[in-house]
Amino acid sequence: MSKALPTMLVTLLASLSLAVEAQALLVSKVQIEVWEIRATRTNNDISRELQPIAAQLKQQFKYTGFKLVKVSKGSADLKETHVARLSQGYSARVTPLVQSGNRIQMAVEVKRLLKKRVNAKITIDRGGLQLFGGWDYPGTRDDVMIVGFRAR
């Protein structure tokens, strides 16, 4: 066996390691979605886009009707913040913090006017949806706001 073979293997492994790190840097941009959902007890209507998570919404929030009001889409590098303007004075801020394989850790915040409703760090699978909410939906009697966060 040649003495050069171990040196070549070390060089090859180091090159592969650098290539993997470079690839990770190239895909550091995270696609973000902030979902605004209006929940009600006045009907049983569920938006078509929410049908796949209807059971989860009903169980988590105890409402019967769910309307997808809007989806704010954007992208952000790690440690860069995406801001979503929602209805009724609500806003959301999402900052991707760490990517590891298929999982993404994000700092999320929801505010209405100056009052924070959520300030949390979450870790989700890419494509997963984390829901927060149950806050009053101004201008309605009993409806509430739900906000979902998704990263791809």
In a domain, 41, yes or no: yes
- Three-state DSSP state, 70: strand
In a domain, 52, yes or no: yes
* pLDDT, mean of residues 99-118: 96
Residue 102: which residues within 8 A CB-CB, separation 6 or more?
125, 126
Q: Under a CB-based contact definition with an 8 Å cutoff, are residues 92 and 34 in contact? A: yes
Q: Under a CB-based contact definition with an 8 Å cutoff, are residues 71 and 93 in contact? A: no
pLDDT range class, residue 96, cuts 50, 70, 90: very high
* pLDDT, mean of residues 110-135: 96
In a domain, 11, yes or no: no
Over the stretch 12-69, which tens digit does the pLDDT of each residue have?
A: 455 555 454 544 445 579 999 999 999 999 999 999 999 999 999 999 999 999 999 9
State both tokens at 72: 């704010």
CA–CA distance, 142 with 151 (Å, rounded to integer): 30
Total number of domains constituting the chain: 1
Q: What is the pLDDT of residue 50?
A: 98
Half-sphere exposure of 33 (CA within 13 A, CB side): 17
In a domain, 8, yes or no: no
**By residue range, what is the domain housing residue 49?**
28-151
In a domain, 113, yes or no: yes
Entry pTM? 0.81
